[in-house]
Amino acid sequence: MSSEEQLSAIKGAKVLMVGAGGIGCELLKTLALSGFQDIHIIDMDTIEVSNLNRQFLFRQSHVGQSKAKASTSSSIFPCFLALVARDAVLRFRPNISITPYHANVKESRFNVDFYKEFDVVLNGLDNLDARRHVNRLCLAADVPLVESGTTGFLGQVTVHLKGKTECYECQAKPAPKTYPVCTITSTPSKFVHCIVWAKDLLFAKLFGDKNLENDLNVRSSDATNLSEHSEDVFECRKGEDIEQYGRRIYDHVFGHNIEVALSNEETWKNRNRPRPIYSKDVFPDKLTKENGKTEKGSATDDVSAMASLGLKNPQDIWSLAENSRVFYESLRLFFLKRQKEIGNLTFDKDDQLAVEFVTAAANIRASSFGIPLHSLFEAKGIAGNIVHAVATTNAIIAGLIVIEAIKVLKKDSNSYRMTYCLEHPSKKLLLIPVEPYEPNKSCYVCSETPLSLEVNTHHSKLRDFVEKIVKAKLGMNFPVIMSGASIIYEIGEDLEEDMALSELPSPVISGTVLTIEDLQQEFSCRINIKHTLHAHREEFDEEREPDGMLLSGWVEAPVDKNNNKSIGNGESTSSALSMEEIQEGEKDVEIQETSESAENVTGKKRKLSEVSKGIIPDHSGLPDENGISDYIARPMQGEGEAQLQYIKLHLYIDKEKDGCKLMSTSLPKIPSFKRFLIPTLYAFDEELIPMLKVSSDKVPIT
């Protein structure tokens, strides 16, 4: 395609952007500067203060307003994100057409016919569920999809074309590890949202730099009673003792701000409404009397609210009243014994008093929103795993998205690449381009491979099957479940939901084949039922086997058994896998170090994390030997099972350079190993082979 033809294709293309946040702002700007003239944007979020450091199209005046419905900044109507983004871009590209939609991408109007109008779909979403939904609609509409994700300094862009490359769901995806700030501040649904709110917003506002604004400022300035709820609400007022101050802060953040949020009826149409909590409802009349303290001192020298209140076990889950007491006592101790630090404090998971304050504040907020409470031990683990969004990563990924979109328009399938963005480049190698993988023949989404479900059909109820398997595991929104010609479930018909599967009018028993369709996604799959008594037992992994139901034949992400989520400050869950994620998620992998052939594998077993140290950028843990060293890795499928494939690496170890080169490799189709090897080998040394390819010499299957 000539340059003139390419420019014509770009100008004539109709592009759908899903998401106008961190990646989306950069993407919209890059599309406009690249010559695209017909862009449609879907986004439903509101603009938050913390968005401004990386979403450069927005300004302070837009904060607190919704992200995507058409209006103008000078209008009497609210400013919406997609429109604000559109107006910002039109200032330097006035002749292009940008159509914003303030809506949920799952709304029925965004159906297959809607997607068929576009030449390419570009995703900048921040949650796995929506990504899966868009993937299925793109498959149904046969429209190319360019996916993206960022987590801190890591990023990834992938291209998905029906029948030519793998779809988004062909490979396992880690559980979502980042959450948008708009969710954290306005509509939390998980305890981790409450932790981030308590740590990054409330703790920072009370004890950090007073000059730094965050979303708590916005909530204060939105109030109608400015004398009581002004932006200096977090400052201790003249003549106010610590108890009065503590009560006022408590009432403001857990009472008043919740009432302000409730005033937006539109937000709570399809959500459970939170309840305001005020100090008079949970605090005793005189806090200092109950705590055995006076404002001038304490009975002990402990700088710990738990010790002061006699709460000994960090694994206990405190009641609302106990959390309220810890909230006040930790606040009191900060002002009583650490006054000089206030104004310069940042959260440290090793700071006992800070952890106590954040745990208590998060639990009180969780109680308000009907979220289960957690112990201090659990809260500390969650609070210590925070990954913030980085604007430059978003910009890099947005540029790569546009490059792949142009390739799609050129129909140059040989040049498609999925690209990793690494945190620690080796010399010039920051971006790692890799040829897209072929469709996974075992993918139930794009290859229509039947699934299998082991279940105690006498015990498991239809409701649990629908919620925990069909919706949670398979990502369907409006499923219709059929057994032969009989419909056993559809939305709105829930008469049999509390019945066991085997007791339904059309019994689901061993050998039954269920057909499940989602008409909104135009997606269907089949599940073969296998009845087993073992499926109902006292102990099982609820994440992997919800209610004892074990689904197989689908691509399942590694389970984070510690439930320690990394939280991005508003940016997307990334499909890129970091070294840490691989090492945490691939605990079912063993490495065998050997100098023998793969036909006769013996030798010392080593964990993947140990061997990987020889090829990650820090150069630590290199094998202490010269010449050729073979490493053979295999996925463990249980002792006694023989049909195991091997990955064979020939590494040349050079002690003088303290490095290694990949001499040759043989990679079977085990995606997690591919995704591990490619970025780490490239990151190690720029002299590694220009493109990692599968060797024609297959390693034998033992």
From residue 576, give the alpha-carbon distance in Å to each of 141, 572, 676, 681.
26, 11, 10, 15
**182 catalytic, yes or no?**
yes
The answer to the question of whether 20 is labelled as a binding residue is yes
Question: Distance between CA 343 and CA 394 in Å, rounded?
Answer: 31
The answer to the question of whether 43 is labelled as a binding residue is yes
The answer to the question of whether 286 is labelled as a binding residue is no
Question: Distance between CA 464 and CA 456 in Å, rounded?
Answer: 12
The answer to the question of whether 313 is labelled as a binding residue is no
The answer to the question of whether 24 is labelled as a binding residue is yes
The answer to the question of whether 232 is labelled as a binding residue is no
The answer to the question of whether 52 is labelled as a binding residue is yes
The answer to the question of whether 22 is labelled as a binding residue is yes
The answer to the question of whether 51 is labelled as a binding residue is yes
Find the catalytic residue in 138, 182, 421, 525: 182
The answer to the question of whether 79 is labelled as a binding residue is no
CB of 502 closer than 8 Å to CB of 508:
yes
DSSP 481-520: EEETTEEEEETTB-TTTTSBGGGSSS---TT-EEEEEETT
Question: Distance between CA 488 and CA 516 in Å, rounded?
Answer: 10
Kindly state the tokens that stand for 498: 């509390």
The answer to the question of whether 170 is labelled as a binding residue is yes
The answer to the question of whether 130 is labelled as a binding residue is yes
The answer to the question of whether 563 is labelled as a binding residue is no
C-alpha 40, offset from chain centre: 24
Q: Is 96 exposed, middle or buried (0-12, 13-18, 19+ CB in 10 A)?
A: middle
The answer to the question of whether 131 is labelled as a binding residue is yes
From residue 147, give the alpha-carbon distance in Å to each of 1, 121, 131, 155, 365.
24, 8, 8, 11, 34
The answer to the question of whether 35 is labelled as a binding residue is no
The answer to the question of whether 291 is labelled as a binding residue is no
Question: Distance between CA 31 and CA 33 in Å, rounded?
Answer: 6
Torsions phi, psi for 581 (to 5 deg): -65, -40
C-alpha 622, offset from chain centre: 33
Judged by DSSP in three states, 250 sits in helix
The answer to the question of whether 614 is labelled as a binding residue is no
The answer to the question of whether 585 is labelled as a binding residue is no
Question: Distance between CA 447 and CA 682 in Å, rounded?
Answer: 31
| Closest alpha carbon to 442 in 512, 378, 335, 525 | 525
From residue 61, give the alpha-carbon distance in Å to each of 78, 81, 101.
11, 12, 21
Instruction: Please list the active-site residues.
Output: 182
Mark the binding-site residues, compressed into ranges. Answer: 19-24, 43, 51-54, 67, 126-131, 167, 170, 443, 446
Mark the binding-site residues for ATP, compressed into ranges. Answer: 19-24, 43, 51-54, 67, 126-131
Mark the binding-site residues for Zn(2+), compressed into ranges. Answer: 167, 170, 443, 446
